[in-house]
């Protein structure tokens, strides 16, 4: 039996390390994604952590280096919940790869995305307890897992600017949807950086380090950066990339799925939309004529700023072939780019072009 048999409902792109997306139909069925349907993105080994022996270390530019057991965290600090969506920066990479090939990458569809109600303690409270020194500008996270990159063993790490780290939505979480974190999702503790690409939310969190510079960990310094379309693996100057932080405004059609055949007439179209910058989604629009005209969809479910919203619309479609396109607008008047071609980048990140499906109506 496969070690990951509990994830049999997922679309498995890679077994070891496990990389698996959530099929769009069950994804759109529940606003909070059940743990066994929650996408999994891993770069290295999955560490097995003994909860009793586990200690979180806080060090670097702090007045006092500290260590916490899980019980310490639960008893010494107030607990908070946030409903937040995690999305991998590589979501919709398959559309970028269709423009120009991307080598050695997991070719995700719009499926490395899920939402949970997370419970944990505020990073703010932990950092206050340790005492933040004046020179500290970044908070670096390091996990217990080990990946293999550029011929070396490296741990998985990230960093965020101190200002974001101190925001009230940033938690160290031990529960998702009222259950302990599953091993794949970072048991016993992970960072949760709502609104940022999933890569910043380090699982199996081992150390938190306050420092004056961003993390030099491979996954912060080289991976998860975005470069202009003319830059390739061969020509790249790693210092020139833009560090991925906030998730780009995006919307996706979940049902019907691409290539389906349906009976002509009223068709219910459903999907999700996400805005990462703490700006609410204002409007979702659908087009059946490549964007010449648009019809509004109804936003049917949303909670706080950090989670996706669900939308739906019923379109009356005549027989024949048809394409349905979706785009979202946020409250600041921002919308998604039309075409995927100009978004190509050799790492395959941040595709938020209009999402489109083809349907055949019989
Ligand atoms: N320690 C560690 N944390 C990690 C990763 C990892 O490989 N190791 N993957 C990151 C990436 S790229 C994403 S998108 C999210 C995915 O979280 P999930 O697997 O719980 O869905 O975890 C992030 N945290
Ligand atoms: Mo990711």
DSSP letter string, 220-289: HHTSSEE--TT--TTT--GGGSEEP-BPPPEEEEEESPTTEEE-SEEEEEEEEEE--SS--EEEEEEESS
Q: What is the CA radius of gyration of the chain?
A: 21
Q: Is the pLDDT of residue 1 over 60?
A: no
Q: Measured in angstroms, how far is the CA atom of residue 107 from the centroid of ligand 2?
A: 12
Residues with CB under 6 A from ligand 1: 38-43, 86, 88, 143, 145, 156, 185, 198-199, 201-204
Binned at pLDDT 50, 70 and 90, residue 6 comes out as low
Among residues 85, 3, 135, 13, the alpha carbon closest in space to that of 303 is found at 85
The mean pLDDT value for 263-287 works out to: 94
The mean pLDDT value for 88-105 works out to: 95
What pLDDT, on a 0 to 100 scale, did the predictor assign at position 104?
A: 85
- Point out the ligand nearest to the CA of residue 10: 1
Burial class (CB in 10 A: 0-12, 13-18, 19+), 194: buried
Q: Is the pLDDT of residue 345 over 70?
A: yes
Contacts of residue 291, defined as CB under 8 A and 6 or more positions apart, other chains included, come to 325, 327, 338, 354
Binned at pLDDT 50, 70 and 90, residue 103 comes out as confident
The mean pLDDT value for 318-338 works out to: 97
The mean pLDDT value for 4-32 works out to: 91
Q: Is the pLDDT of residue 236 over 70?
A: yes
Q: Is the pLDDT of residue 214 over 60?
A: yes
Count of CB atoms situated within 10 Å of the CB of 155: 20
Q: Is the pLDDT of residue 210 over 50?
A: yes
Locus of tokens 């629009």: 285
Binned at pLDDT 50, 70 and 90, residue 149 comes out as confident
Q: Is the pLDDT of residue 4 over 80?
A: no
Higher pLDDT: 1 or 172? It is 172
Q: Is the pLDDT of residue 233 over 60?
A: yes
Q: What percent of the chain has pLDDT over 90?
A: 91
What pLDDT, on a 0 to 100 scale, did the predictor assign at position 7?
A: 76
Q: Is the pLDDT of residue 40 over 50?
A: yes
What pLDDT, on a 0 to 100 scale, did the predictor assign at position 8?
A: 84
The DSSP letter of residue 185 is G
Among residues 265, 271, 302, the alpha carbon closest in space to that of 284 is found at 271
Q: Measured in angstroms, how far is the CA atom of residue 88 from the centroid of ligand 2?
A: 4
Q: Is the pLDDT of residue 304 over 90?
A: no
The pTM for the full model equals: 0.96
The mean pLDDT value for 76-89 works out to: 98
Binned at pLDDT 50, 70 and 90, residue 258 comes out as very high
Question: Could you give the CA distance from residue 313 to residue 188 in angstroms, rounded to a whole number?
Answer: 40
Least confidently predicted of 47-56, 82-91, 213-222, 316-325: 213-222
Q: Measured in angstroms, how far is the CA atom of residue 138 from the centroid of ligand 1?
A: 20
Q: Is the pLDDT of residue 3 over 50?
A: no
Higher pLDDT: 62 or 278? It is 62
Q: Measured in angstroms, how far is the CA atom of residue 100 from the centroid of ligand 2?
A: 21
What pLDDT, on a 0 to 100 scale, did the predictor assign at position 52?
A: 96
Ligand 1 test: best mutation among 49, 116, 143, 198, most atoms within 8 Å of CB? 198
What pLDDT, on a 0 to 100 scale, did the predictor assign at position 5?
A: 57
User: What mean pLDDT, rounded, does the chain reach?
Assistant: 95
Binned at pLDDT 50, 70 and 90, residue 47 comes out as very high
Beta sheet of 40-41, edge-to-edge order:
11-14, 19-21, 40-41
What pLDDT, on a 0 to 100 scale, did the predictor assign at position 261?
A: 97
Q: Is the pLDDT of residue 2 over 50?
A: no
- Which residue's CA is minimally distant from atom 6 of ligand 1? 42
């Amino acid at each position: 039996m496969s070690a990951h048999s509990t994830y049999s409902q997922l679309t498995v792109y890679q077994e070891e390390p496990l990389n698996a997306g959530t099929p769009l139909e069950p994804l759109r069925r529940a606003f909070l994604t059940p743990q066994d349907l929650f996408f999994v993105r891993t770069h290295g080994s999955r560490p097995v952590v003994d909860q009793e022996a586990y200690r979180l270390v806080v060090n670097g530019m702090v007045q006092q280096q500290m260590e916490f057991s899980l019980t310490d965290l639960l008893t010494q600090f107030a607990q908070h919940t946030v409903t937040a969506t995690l999305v991998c920066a590589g979501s919709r990479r398959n559309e970028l790869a269709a423009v120009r090939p991307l080598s050695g990458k997991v070719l995700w569809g719009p499926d490395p995305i899920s939402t949970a109600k997370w419970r944990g303690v505020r990073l703010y409270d932990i950092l206050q307890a340790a005492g933040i020194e004046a020179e500290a500008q970044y908070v670096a996270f390091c996990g217990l897992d080990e990946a293999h990159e550029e011929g070396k063993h490296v741990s998985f790490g990230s960093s965020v600017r101190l200002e974001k780290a101190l925001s009230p939505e940033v938690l160290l979480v031990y529960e998702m949807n009222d259950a302990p974190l599953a091993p794949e999702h970072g048991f016993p503790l992970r960072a949760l950086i709502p609104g940022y690409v999933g890569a910043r939310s380090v699982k199996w969190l081992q150390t938190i380090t306050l420092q004056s510079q961003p993390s030099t960990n491979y996954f912060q310094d080289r991976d998860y950066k975005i470069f202009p379309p003319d830059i390739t693996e061969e020509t790249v100057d790693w210092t020139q990339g833009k560090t991925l932080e906030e998730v780009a405004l995006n919307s996706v059609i979940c049902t019907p799925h691409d290539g389906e055949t349906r009976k002509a007439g009223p068709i219910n179209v459903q999907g999700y939309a996400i805005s990462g910058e703490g700006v609410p989604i204002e409007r979702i629009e659908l087009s059946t004529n490549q964007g010449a005209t648009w019809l509004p969809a109804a936003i049917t479910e949303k909670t706080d700023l950090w989670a996706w919203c669900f939308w739906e619309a019923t379109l009356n479609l005549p027989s024949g072939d048809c394409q349905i396109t979706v785009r979202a607008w946020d409250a600041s008047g921002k919308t998604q780019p039309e075409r995927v071609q100009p978004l190509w980048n050799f790492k395959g990140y941040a595709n938020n072009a209009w999402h489109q499906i083809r349907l055949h109506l019989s």
